[in-house]
Structure 1
Amino acid sequence: MNRIRKILGGVAALVVILLLFTSQLVHFITEYQWFADLGYTGVFLTRLRTQMTLGIPVFIVAGILFYAYFRVLKKRYEKQTGATQVTLSDKQINRWLLLPAVVLGLYTAMNTVGRFWWQILEFRHQVPFGVEDPVFGKDIAYYFFTWPLLMQGLDTLISLIFTVVVVTFIFYLFMLAVRRPTLIQVEEGTNPWKDTMKRFLTFATRQMVTLGVIFFAILTLRYLLSIYQLLYSPQGAIYGAGYTDMAVGLPLYRIKALVSFAGGVLLLVGFYGRKYKLMAAGPVLLILVTVLGGIASAGVERFVVEPNVLARETPYIRQNIEYTRMAYGLDNVREEAFNIDYNLTREDLEANPETVKNIRINDYRPALLSYNQLQAIRPYYQFTDVDIDRYHIDGEYRQVFTSARELNMERISESAKTWLNMHLKYTHGYGAVVSPVNAITPQGQPELFIRNIPPVSTTDLLITRPEIYFGELTNHYIVVNTGEMEFDYPMGEDNAETMYEGTAGIPLSGFNRLLYALRERSARLFVSGSISGESRIIFDRNIEDRVTKIAPFLLYDEDPYLVIHEGRLVWIIDAFTIHDRYPYATPYLNQDYNRRLRGDYNYMRNSVKVVVDAYEGDVNFYIADVEDPVIQTYANIFPGLFQPLEAMPEGLHQHIRYPQELFDLQTIVYERYHMANPSVFYLDEDLWNIAQERYAGQSQNVESQYMIFKMPGEDREEFVLSVPYTPNRLNNMIALLMARNDGEHYGELVLYQLPKDQNIYGPMQIEARIDQNEVISQSLTLWGEGGSQVIRGNLLVIPMNNSFLYIEPLYIQASNSDSPPEVKQVIAAFGDDIVMESTLEEALTRLFGAGTPTIPESGTGTPSSPEQQPTAPAPGETPGAPGTPADTPSPEVTLPADLAEASTEMLIRAASNTFEAAQKASQEGDWAAYGEALAQLEEILNVLEAQAGE
């Protein structure tokens, strides 16, 4: 019976081992096929080849060394203790020693491969930066690719020594169990047991001393290498080596290295000289030096540096400024003075038509709600994001919103979530919507250039291949070219069907069908009659997962954006190289800035543009920053992975953008690091803040905005990313940082500095003036009552000639409705004038007078109803003032016949007009009309209050 149990136990263990091995083998083969399908077998094999080249020799050498070490310990143990055989023979013990030797060899190999395979590749293929650190004079590449490898190697050796200590102790316990020591009486009258154990302890101590000496030798080298850690010191006035670090920290590391070396010598001398107190001298001296070094550092900082910080720290502050700028790509910011005036005229607007035509009155957040409400068509379609881009449409340079209509399988009804539907029928999303940023419908919704299913276009921008097999929501595998037709798109009461015509996927012919059934743990893949040898399985369709799997050493932008290229839908993803070892560069790139990161990083470049075809799934990596030594190193590691940016199709090249993720980080760094003078920098005398704005009732930092306008001194409009700055704790605008996106100027950073001797309105000051304007603020209050919510959009700061134009759209959304917000008014400000009108063109007319319309009919937008009229002049304005029509008529107040039956929107409109009539009457001194208007307003508000209570 016991024998049967043993046999069954052995069979069960064998089955488990086979299953584990089979799972790993299946994963390996299918992963290789996936990389081969995309044409990146070189990437897959480079990693495998490096790991095997490193792991196999380490496993063999480590296994042999551990086995030899055990044999030596065993022999010496027997010699020192006179041990006799108890339970196991020598051959049996030697066989038993093979097991821990193999296990420890495997552990060492896996640990080494896991820690070093990537660092070794970086070390072997590193490209110099051509920039040296200011203290030790080493190229920055040393700190990126060589120094971390050396430090990691020494730490691994120290860890290995402690492992050997533990293993040695366990080995002695094992030997005591299988080899009983023979009691040896050294002298007559002595205790044989005591003499035997003394000999054994002497032997064991000798082994520990040997390991201790090796430990001190490694520790000496580590202290010498740790000197470079001073370049990343967080102590002192700045990040990096400061006065105290150089005066105390540098000598202290050298002293520790000397003491550590001496500790190894003293350990050896003390043991053989039987001066056991001397053996402890090394650790004691290290502790003493560390304590005294800490006291010395504190003393120098307190009594030498603090009384005269600037004199001591100025050289190091200058180095911190210089190297932090280089680390974040801010060393080439072109600074220009922006001499502001307020001479903008209607003629200037007409001279900058593309700027005016592309002033954004739509916001991407309400636009996303509108798309999902009006263009999702079916519950299982979803728009997840709105991307901002630009196209030449019908001969004009237009900024647009673009969003992909993806298939969200979570929204399919539970009864329809069958295996057939999930993996064979519902395979792709369909099409996209495109809307100009400056055009709205009469209902206040974004006007659509491309809409509906199949895509219908009102311009020359067309989508001819609308299927989305690879996107942001494609998280499950599919099988194409099966016996089942794929659902393509809804068509009335029926559905249009299709078959995949692309080349993506791995054939499920022969043995592959079993492989993928095992991989996906789905017997249906193996037995389904709908699947044939011509069928192909497509997995890892999520574009972020797809690119990360190929190149996990890059950090990817969380916001891929959709581009329409030659009728196809294509995703572009910005990828970054990051590092944490740029000398003297203050870390800004951390978990607080980016939740995906673990640790603090102080180097970032947008070095790669990744293109993923939404239909074919092809992935192409293009080097966007050829001056980045990190991406050059990666290109050396993986030949064939990266292509030059010039190889990108021209139609796609026109759509690359300076990424907001990098720009936003740079704007945060530049709040302080625009200051070049060490004294000004240390005292924060010219500290800036990203300007504040009010969005949806909450104060927030102004978001960096993509806009089309003509930069000062340039001949034509271009796509620009910008953000305004204000002085610390103040709201007036002090500067604008801009990133250029078009043509040969792509990637250029320009800082426009505003005069410091005059107040230039910042976004929050404009927001305050909106609140202080009686007409606008009263209207906002009225619109916010009666079950509606007023949403104030992003405030845009648009430079034009030597002036600034401020634009803010207003949205109204019913509080108790799922309907999306609607653009109802546009606020425009210039100089001291601020107006609110139903359309942007009307607002510009109020500010600059009438003229040739600067906004085309398709981009004008219209009032939400015929009853809407222009608002009354703002306080301080007089009829006939520049930019204001002198004969603005009093608004007509037309009350509904039955107020109780009127809609909320109609009542709000009537209340607004009534309030304007009261304002007009008070300005003209017509107090009878003023009193009548107030009575009417009170009646309307009472009805609104009653409706809200219902």
Structure 2
Amino acid sequence: MVVALVIAFFVFAGLYADVLWYQQVGYLNVLTTQWLAAGLLFFIGFLGMAVPLWLSIQLAYRLRPVYAKLNTQLDRYQQVIEPLRRLAMYGIPVIFGIFAGVSTGSRWQTALMWVNSTSSGKTDPQFHLDISFYLFDLPFYRGLVGFASAVVIISLFATLATCYLYGSIRISGREVRISKAARIQIAVIAALYLLLQGVSIWLDRYATVTDSNVNDMINGAAYTDVNATIPGRAILAGIAVFVAALFVVTAFIGRWRFPLVGTALLIIAALVVGAIYPWIVQRFQVDPSQKTLETSYIQRSINSTRDAYGLSNVDVIPYNAKTTAEQGQLREDAQTTAQIRIIDPAQVSPSFRQLEQFRQYYAFPDNLAVDRYTIGGKEQDAVVAVRELQQSGLGSAQNWYNDTIVYTHGYGVVAAYGNQRSTDGQPVFLESGIPTTGSLGTYEPRIYFGQQSPKYSIVGGPTNQKSVELDYPGGADNAQQTYTTFAGNGGPKLDNIFKRLIYALKFQDEQIVLSDAVNSDSQILYDRDPITRVQKVAPYLTLDSQAYPTVVDGRVKWVIDGYTTSDQYPYSHVGSLSDAIADTETPKPAYPFDNINYIRNSVKATVDAYDGKVTLYAWDASDPILKTWEKIFPATVKPMSDMSSDLISHVRYPADLFKVQRSVLGQYHVTDAGSFYSRDDAWTTPNDPVSPASNPTLQPPYYLTMQMPGQTAPTFSLYSTFVPLATTESSRSVLKGYLAVDADAGDTKGQKASGYGKLRLLTLPSSDTVPGPGQVQNNFNSDPGVSQQLNLLRQGKTDVISGNLLTLPVGGGLLYVQPVYVKSTGETSYPLLQKVLVAFGDKIAFQDTLDGALDVLFGGNSGATAGDNAAGGGGGSSGTTTPPTAGTGSNPALEAALVDARQAILDRDAALKAGNWAAYGIADANLKKAVAQALAAEAQATTPKPAPTPTPTPSPSK
């Protein structure tokens, strides 16, 4: 008894802690609705199973023949069972009822979505039912019929067992005798089961529009389904109902022949109508003329898939990409060129750590975020991170008091310009330091809620009490450390001994009760990861794999994208969400429901990094799934109109949604059913060229500010490329498509920009041979000049690291840009951006700066200026820029001419050896031209290019 009470109290402590957490965060109705729904369904499931099962056993027992003559073996069974009979008659229904209740209780989401279902306004092309029937109604109906069938079949077996044990069913040789009462009970139960099977088969007709068919080419009812399977299932449903009626008749007339014959007929019909006939239609009618007969159904699948994944309005733009580089070719793309990001957020985390960590108990994530801020009236792409707490860095100073009371939060945002670097290759910071200074203005810098926050901290205290929380190292009057006291409302209060006991049990830590550092004003902060907090208050959302920090309205806020998904959208392609999302920067995530065929970015969520406040905003108010959940959890999702202009300006198109869309668009960019059937133009996302050959991963999409064809100005965008889907080992990885989406939501309060989310797909003609990312990386690695310089960089125990390979549609073609980092092997070393590789067509260039590389690539003058043409201060922490020093790329026009001259000499020598005088003449002419260009470039070497406007001087933050 004592053990039971202890266990019960532990369970109560966990539940009460949940109540306190949800109550503090302001979403208590989310928890209570789940509990009420699950509890009610458990009760219904328990009674729905236990009561019919109990009645079946009781009826079979009470209506047993009183003077039935049993055989010796059954007499022995009864003698064994009789002492336990009452326990079994009640215990068996209770046990099965508990299992049934747990099963039904776990399906509270399905039940609530059915009760609160919302019309979508769209219908499926086969049954012409609203899509909401498939999203909300059909899963509930099938689950309900499945549950009822389980109840009936278990009751039938229990009835048969009881009747046999107590003589209602007697078997003598080949003769089976059944009492009248048992006959009626068994026949009625069997009739109920067959009736339910008829309903189930009827519902299965509708499920054909969500099933995969024709080698996964069509997701939904194809020709055979429409003309054989669906009619066949309707016939089977009718037969099942008819046979059920025969069992009812048998219950009263006592003849088993008719229902047994009917059951045999049902089995035979299931084989013939349900399997053999559809196979014959498929094998002898469809397969010989598959393309002709399946065309209309393939078109259904194409249209529905594009609609379900938000791809109905993709702008497809034929793009005849140039592959030759000429002088001044980037002049019309000067604004895009100036914003090309050369800082790789996947490579500079060590730089942030070495330059901005300050203490071992601070940390930065391995992959940083890309955001944009308006600096000096101009929008700038930035690589951003927050300085989070890392308690493992405390070393021997780790103990309960320090971990829980003193070291409670991180401090400050660190941001670097995406398109600039210092003269020695460090990032140029626009926000840095402790206390923070820079261009982001005044904001609350303390990070109590983050991706690396401790499991729990106890904060807060009386205003007249000395502060004990470490705020940041250093301070006024040469202080070694500055302390603070949490002043927000971030966690449940520990204002009485009972709550302290509850959390001591939850975290299995007696210090919460015993420590005098915990007082009546203390709060306990836990569940501090932003994604975890949002998932708890919105359990119906599938969340983006990455939360990113941004400074909004004077606060650091985490932004998390929430998706509503389904796998029940008619005729839409079903794909693995985790497979689509996994790439070099994102390990394959685990989702409870991985296969989907519908997705919407329905919610934008924010988590305040200081007090943990969670706010949900309806981003796609037209989504029927979100509308349904808003009915279930009223007042939990705010309208978009409540979003401030500052928050809107930092919202971006989510990367995970874009990854899913690109994975689908690889096949479904083909909108003609005939061409889709042939699959001769299928694309795929290329592998990341910098990923290990032993473990290749997909290239991630990248955020860039650029101008796509059809746009009037550069916008913050997200892009990815396509190469042909490999069908043979000899398939070439040439570029076939370029997908970009307008990721900028604007800066108007409560309203997203009209262009936000617009997808543009550049399609390259089959005759074009623009190299894909893999080919370009191979060209970089195999170029003799590049290899020679990389070998020089590797001398002295240094590593050369290739950064992200970016692709931009500029100059009428595709420009590739890749930063090259150099890192020494010391423990405190970090990557320095030393070189930039660029490619256009088959031509490449390799210089100290992007600006210099572009000039070399485009014949001495690209016609535009890159953002790094005036590198930042050598320390890497300054927000100002200084002119570049002379270096390898100081006269790119001269170097380009010399490269052409060397190539012409090689061509001329080769032609001479081969005796090809025509080729010799061409090479000789090219040599003379290159020498003339070199002389001209040398004569103009003193003509300077204008430097960019210096970045504004940073302002301090509190």
The TM-score, its normalising length taken from structure 2, stands at: 0.82
- Correspondent of 2:383 among 394, 401, 404: 401
CA distance change for structure 1 residues 393 and 337 in 2, over 3 Å: closer, same or farther?
same
Give the CA RMSD over aligned residues: 3.7
Deviation per CA, 1:45-91: give whole Å up to 9, x if none.
3223334454446656766655555543332136474999x999999
CA contact (8 A) 1:691 1:733 kept: no
Query: Deviation per CA, 1:383-428, whole angstroms, max 9, x where unpaired?
Result: 1230011111122211111112211234442x43322222222211
1:575 to 537, 562, 570: 562
User: Which segment is superposed worse, 464-473 or 805-814?
Assistant: 805-814
Q: Call closer, same or farther: CA 1:111–1:643 in 2, change over 3 Å.
A: same
Distance 1:201 1:425, change over 3 A: farther
Identify the range of structure 1 (202-211 vs 705-714) with the bigger mean alpha-carbon deviation.
Answer: 202-211
Query: How big is the shift at 1:888?
Result: 6.3
Give runs of aligned pairs for residues 195-234 of structure 1, distance below 5 A: 204=182, 206-234=184-212
Structure 1: which amino acid aligns with 2:715? E
Match of 1:497 in 2: 483
- Alpha carbons of structure 1 residues 854 and 473: separation in structure 2 relative to 1, 3 Å: closer
Q: Secondary structure at the match of 1:314?
A: helix
Contact 2:799 2:822 in 1 (8 A): yes
Q: Residues 755 and 406 (structure 1 numbering): CA distance in 2 closer, same or farther, change over 3 Å? A: same
Structure 2 residues without counterparts, runs of 5 or longer: 582-588, 726-730, 747-752, 873-880, 905-925, 940-958
Equivalent residues of 1:373, 1:820 under 8 A apart: yes
Show the counterpart of 1:121.
Answer: 112
Question: 2:932, 2:450 → 1: CA distance?
Answer: 49
Secondary structure of the residue aligned to 1:712 is: coil
Q: Quote the residue 1:253 is aligned against.
A: 233
The secondary structure found in structure 1 opposite 2:576 is coil
What's the CA shift for 1:259? 3.1
Correspondence 1:732 to 2:734 = yes
Helix, strand or coil for the counterpart of 1:230?
Answer: helix
Q: Shift of residue 558 of structure 1?
A: 1.1
Contact 2:334 2:864 in 1 (8 A): no
- 1:645 and 2:640 correspond: yes
1:389 corresponds to: 371
Q: Which residue of 2 aligns with 1:25?
A: 12
Q: Given that residues 798 and 806 in structure 1 are in contact (C-alpha distance below 8 angstroms), is that contact kept between their aligned partners in structure 2?
A: yes
CA change 1:783–1:111 in 2 (3 A) is same
Separation in structure 2 between the aligned mates of residue 58 and residue 314 of structure 1, nearest angstrom = 45
AA paired with 1:709? M
| Cα 1:354–1:100 shift into 2, 3 Å | same
Corresponding residue for residue 303 of structure 2: 322
Partner of 1:694: 689
Give the match's secondary structure for 2:240: helix
Q: 1:585 aligns with which of 568, 572, 582?
A: 572
Match of 1:241 among 215, 221, 230: 221
* Distance of aligned partners of 1:280 and 1:815 in 2 relative to their CA distance in 1, 3 Å threshold: farther
CA contact (8 A) 1:624 1:645 kept: yes
Letter in 2 for 1:218: L
Deviations 1:229-285 (A, max 9, x none): 211232325221111122221122123223323433444556766665655445543
Aligned to 1:596: 590
- 3-state SS in 2 of match to 1:364: coil
Query: Aligned partner of 1:822: which letter?
Result: L
Matched AA of 2:373: Y
The CA distance in 2 between the partners of 1:406 and 1:883, in whole Å, is 58
The alignment status of 1:429 with 2:410, answered yes or no, reads: yes
Once residues 108 and 252 of structure 1 are traced to their aligned partners in structure 2, the CA distance between those partners, rounded to angstroms, is: 32
214-223 or 815-824, which deviates more: 815-824
Matches within 5 A, 1:359-398: 359-384=340-365, 385-398=367-380
Q: Indicate how the Cα distance of structure 1 residues 603 and 819 shifts in structure 2: closer, same or farther if over 3 A, else same.
A: same
**Residue of structure 2 equivalent to 1:789:** 799
Aligned to 1:857: 870
Distance in structure 2 (CA, Å) of the matches to 1:167 and 1:274: 21
Aligned to 2:585: none
Distance across 2 between alignment mates of 1:684 and 1:351: 37
Does the Cα contact within 8 Å between 2:332 and 2:811 map onto a contact in 1? no
CA separation of 1:782/1:80 partners in 2, compared to 1, >3 Å: closer, same or farther?
Answer: farther
- Paired letter, 1:487: L
Per-residue CA distance 1:92-117 (angstroms, 9 max, x = gap):
987985555555555544433322x2
1:378-777 paired onto structure 2 within 5 Å: 378-384=359-365, 385-413=367-395, 415-457=396-438, 460-462=439-441, 464-482=443-461, 485-491=468-474, 494-510=480-496, 511-593=498-580, 595-597=589-591, 598-691=593-686, 694-695=689-690, 698=693, 701-728=698-725, 729-742=731-744, 743=746, 744=753, 745-771=755-781, 773-777=783-787
Q: 3-state SS of the aligned residue for 1:823?
A: strand
Identity of aligned residues (%): 28
Partner amino acid for 1:710? Answer: Q
Structure 2 matches for 1:131-280, cutoff 5 A? 131-168=122-159, 204=182, 206-236=184-214, 237-267=217-247, 279-280=259-260
Bigger RCO of structures 1 and 2 (CA < 8 A, at least 6 apart): 2
**How far apart in 2 are the matches of 1:794 and 1:702?**
9
Is contact 1:439–1:861 with CA below 8 Å preserved after alignment? no
For 2:942, the equivalent position in structure 1 comes to none
Q: 1:565 to 1:374 in 2, by over 3 A?
A: same
Please state whether the residue corresponding to 1:263 is helix, strand or coil: helix
Within the candidate set 779, 785, 791, 2:789 is matched to 779
Distance 1:165 1:878, change over 3 A: farther
Q: Structure 1: how far apart are the matches of 2:302 and 2:834?
A: 47
Letter in 1 for 2:457: I
Deviation of 1:675 after TM superposition, in Å, equals 0.9
Q: Unaligned stretches of 5+ in structure 1? A: 1-13, 185-191, 891-950
- After TM superposition, give the deviation of residue 761 of structure 1 in Å: 4.2
Q: Quote the Cα distance in structure 1 between the aligned partners of 2:37 and 2:171.
A: 54
The aligned length equals: 859
SS in 2 for 1:834: strand
The one-letter code sitting in structure 1 at the alignment partner of 2:839 is A
Q: Write the distance in 2 (CA, Å) between the matches of 1:882 and 1:630.
A: 68
Rg larger in structure: 1
Matched residue of 2:299: which SS?
helix
TM-score (structure 1 length as normaliser): 0.82
Whole-Å separation in 2 of the counterparts to 1:803 and 1:712 = 11
Contact 2:459–2:523 (Cα < 8 Å) also in 1 = yes
Retained in 1: the 8 A contact 2:705–2:714?
A: yes
**Match of 2:851, SS?**
helix
Q: What is the one-letter code of the residue matched to 1:210?
A: V
Of the structure 1 ranges 863-872 and 335-344, higher mean CA displacement relative to structure 2 is found in 863-872
Quote the offset at 1:773 in angstroms: 3.6
Q: Post-superposition shift, 1:349? A: 4.8
Residue of structure 1 in register with 2:875 after alignment? none
Following the alignment from structure 2 to structure 1, what is the Cα–Cα distance between the partners of residues 127 and 223? 15
In structure 1, what is the equivalent of residue 265 of structure 2?
285
